[in-house]
Amino acid sequence: DAKTTQPPSMDCAEGRAANLPCNHSTISGNEYVYWYRQIHSQGPQYIIHGLKNNETNEMASLIITEDRKSSTLILPHATLRDTAVYYCIVQGAQKLVFGQGTRLTINP
């Protein structure tokens, strides 16, 4: 499975859009990009996934570059409850392997 690179931490003001980048330059054609988040002392939560088209759901938007080598997760109006570790994972075969993720802190 392709490796991903994320910044270790980010800050965002409450009410603003939070844009979390992810690099996955070795992604192969049939691998999807998934985003999960983990709030302290809880199990991870699925957010969104995509292959090559941009995706949007009630939680977030996912923008994937045309060459698929990077993506951005957008939380349009961040709240304090969005403070969490966000994981970008390229998911191919059976196993889901977590990197270190981005620790996003939403500030009041």
Partner 1 sequence: GAVVSQHPSRVICKSGTSVKIECRSLDFQATTMFWYRQFPKQSLMLMATSNEGSKATYEQGVEKDKFLINHASLTLSTLTVTSAHPEDSSFYICSARVREWGYGYTFGSGTRLTVV
Binding site for partner 1 (CB under 8 A): 32, 34, 36, 38, 41-46, 49, 87, 91, 94-101
- Closest contact distance (angstroms) between CB of 44 and partner 1 is 5
Residue 76 or 98 having the CB closest to partner 1: 98
Residue 70 or 87 having the CB closest to partner 1: 87
Distances (CA, A) of 99 to 16, 35, 86, 87, 90: 26, 12, 10, 7, 10
- Closest contact distance (angstroms) between CB of 6 and partner 1 is 11
Residue 13 or 39 having the CB closest to partner 1: 39
d(CA 94, CA 22) in angstroms, rounded, equals 21
Residue 6 or 70 having the CB closest to partner 1: 6
Q: b vs e for 34-59, b when ≥16 Cβ sit within 10 Å of the residue's Cβ?
A: bbbbbeeeeebeebbebeeeebeeee
- Closest contact distance (angstroms) between CB of 86 and partner 1 is 12
d(CA 10, CA 85) in angstroms, rounded, equals 10
- Closest contact distance (angstroms) between CB of 29 and partner 1 is 16
